[in-house]
Structure 1
């Protein structure tokens, strides 16, 4: 029986490597840039809750954007208690983009705080042609906005997976795997192809056409979503919009996750929501993680070479993400251990209420 199961693990990983839309590759980058004849107006909406420590590293990068058209930055203070709004106002840049700092007050019933803040920022944006929705912990290269707009000529929404911080041991272990698992769940090639119905986005950097967003029902259409980036992508795609998702080179997150507990909280706060709070889906996920990621090394240690080969294939599919994050190419051999941690985080997510920065949902 163990031999049969060992062969099964090799079959699974061969199928994932060759037949799952090349999910493991990192070549989905911004499409060919086509500068428009006239540059559309853009409003950059930044929801921020208790981000006073990070804003000095991120907000000026938005204010210094070199954009040929009209652009402005709207920072929406989502009920912060650390002086976020005051810090934001102090960061204005000479000859930079205009900055508006505003606050919508507490969210009504049925709204998450972040999406209430985003909706307020979208209203403040007025009739801007494009909306760049970006988180307060995201820093942008000076030409990031120009590049995004030039790449969106024939798309209704363009989002990029920001380069996440990998400075501590736990960040180097957990963060690249987080991106790898996300791409396995939502293969970028499928998101970007009209032949598939897969819809996903990376919430740290989303450029969307205002008219398409309105046609999709606006932010109100996803007002209670905890995984708001994927919900927004589904809403835009459902309204006939063409979406695109890829890896970033000009967008990065500066938020630190120095301890395992910090990363655990990041994953556990929304993992069970991703499973639609379904015990059946939770059980299937746990069994799937064990069968796909833990079984190969377990059977390999008994001397079953097909399972060892499956472990090698698994590790090989991790190489592009490891290279993207400048990690050792053998890091994929630790995927079973990281997958075990993610499985425990998911189980922990099922026992707690979803929450973030003092709010629970």
Structure 2
């Protein structure tokens, strides 16, 4: 007589299969940029090369490698650009770094904006509101302070805006840990979970994203959504900036450019705080998507699938249990192969592949724990301040409606 599988066994089998499928899709989706799209971007770049670009970089403190990262924005091939670097206090530790940059590149238009005015609960957006007054060019590029770029960056991210149906251009990023073990773990969060999940969503047709690493748009588009004031009380300001632009009927483009970012959290506590902030923000923006993130934490599911296969094979009282054991083992094996392939594509270098490979199960397990913890709680900590998670969601919806009224003359 056949014995039915228990509910827990069905859950483990389904979870292992779903995680394995996701790992396969993520590994395949990694190199999703087509040569045709890249060629179109190069052609558009020529027609957009003479358009001026104002780069806005809100700063807060002297981060490690701040000067080196800012230098990459000075080494651009674009013919006409301006750098506006903003701080909100006159004693900010980033100011000497900016002065050093101005001295090293006196031929560039580099402006330091020191402005203490606060316009809302999001201090970064307050900084951007103050900086925007100094932007002089048609194209606005907002980029985080810890971003490093190649010399063709401005040409490439500005190019798609030559198409008037495109409203905003954004970039993914590759992370590098700076300063020890926990930054390495944090870099894996970005390179092997965040970026692949975006690429899977992009390959499936989603365009509902915007990343602070780069957001490029026309000055006229920014004005139509009500300027940065529309975001002053939003936690996820990068996402909502892109969402406001999409509400105008304009398209979002994920650039073929991949910029570099530093992960500098020195210890477990700081890393946990940062990553749970990201996950709680995702929860507030997309509760259903957050709920299904469990399939993206592959290692715990693959381990559970392997355990299930062994457990069923040991007893195997009937064909149902034997075939279930085979299916679970096959799913776990395929998932392991896909997870290693995903790690290889994200690592980009042979040395980092081997050095970080033993960290993959730890990274996936930690992510699963953070996901569970992020399902609870109503606040996040950002730049030392407690911010209600609701400001990433409902408050931003109200801001979007206000922005539409402004753009419609209401």
Q: 2:22 aligns with which of 16, 29, 32?
A: 16
Q: 1:21 to 1:217 in 2, by over 3 A?
A: farther
Contact 1:46/1:135, CA 8 A, preserved across alignment:
yes
- Greater Cα radius of gyration, structure 1 or 2: 2
Q: What residue number does 2:30 align with?
A: 25
Superposed displacement of residue 235, structure 1? 1.7
- Shift in Å at residue 43 of structure 1? 0.4
1:88-237 matched pairs, under 5 angstroms: 88-92=98-102, 93-109=104-120, 111-126=121-136, 128-154=137-163, 155-166=166-177, 168-183=180-195, 185-187=197-199, 190=202, 196-237=205-246
- Whether 1:308 aligns to 2:332 is yes
Give distance in 2, aligned partners of 1:60 and 1:323. 24
How far 1:153 moved relative to its partner? Answer: 3.2
Q: Take 1:46 and 1:119, find their aligned partners in 2: how far apart are those partners?
A: 12
Aligned to 1:337: 362
In the superposition, relative to structure 1, how do residues 37 and 52 fare at CA in structure 2: closer, same or farther (>3 Å)? closer
CA distance in 2, matches of 1:162, 1:360: 26
Q: CA deviation at 1:245?
A: 1.9
In the TM superposition, what is the alpha-carbon distance from 1:209 to its structure 2 partner? 1.8
For structure 2, the residue ranges without an aligned partner over 5 or more in a row are: 311-324, 388-410
By percentage of residues, which structure has more helix? 2
Match of 2:250 among 241, 245, 256: 241
C-alpha displacement of 1:188: 6.1
The residue that corresponds to 2:69 in the other structure is: 58
Shift of 1:42: 0.7
Q: Verify the 8 A CA contact 1:315 1:330 in the aligned structure 2.
A: no
Report Cα offsets for 1:301-323 as digits up to 9, x if no partner. Answer: 34241342234334434432233
CA distance in 2, matches of 1:317, 1:108: 43
Please tell me whether the aligned partners of residues 169 and 253 of structure 2 are also in contact (alpha carbons under 8 angstroms): yes
Distance 1:221 1:31, change over 3 A: farther
What stretches of structure 1 of length at least 5 have no aligned partner? none
Closer, same or farther: CA 300–332 of 1 in aligned 2, 3 Å: farther
What is the alpha-carbon distance in structure 2 between the residues aligned to residue 306 and residue 48 of structure 1?
Answer: 50
Give the superposition deviation at 1:6: 5.2
1:40 aligns to what?
Answer: 51
Decide whether the 8 Å contact of 2:74 with 2:108 is kept in 1. Answer: yes
| TM-score, length basis structure 1 | 0.81
Structural RMSD (CA) = 3.5
Please give the TM-score of this superposition, normalised by the length of structure 2.
Answer: 0.72
Cα distance in 2, alignment partners of residues 325 and 145 from structure 1: 30
Per-residue deviation, 1:97: 1.9
Rounded to whole Å, the distance in 2 between the matches of 1:151 and 1:283 is: 31
The SS at the match of 2:14 is helix
Once structures 1 and 2 are overlaid, which stretch shifts more, 129-138 or 143-152?
143-152
User: Residue 252 of structure 1 aligns with which residue?
Assistant: 260
After the TM superposition, list the runs of 4 or more consecutive aligned residues in structure 1 that deviate by more than 6 angstroms. 280-283
Task: Go from structure 1 to structure 2 and tell me whether the alpha carbon gap of 1:152 and 1:327 turns closer, same or farther (over 3 Å shift).
Answer: farther
The answer to whether structure 1 residue 271 and structure 2 residue 279 are counterparts is yes
CA distance in 2, matches of 1:141, 1:150: 15
Structure 1 residues 63, 183: CA separation in 2 closer, same or farther (over 3 Å shift)? closer
Q: Distance in 1 between matches of 2:200 and 2:55?
A: 24
Task: Give the superposition deviation at 1:41.
Answer: 0.9
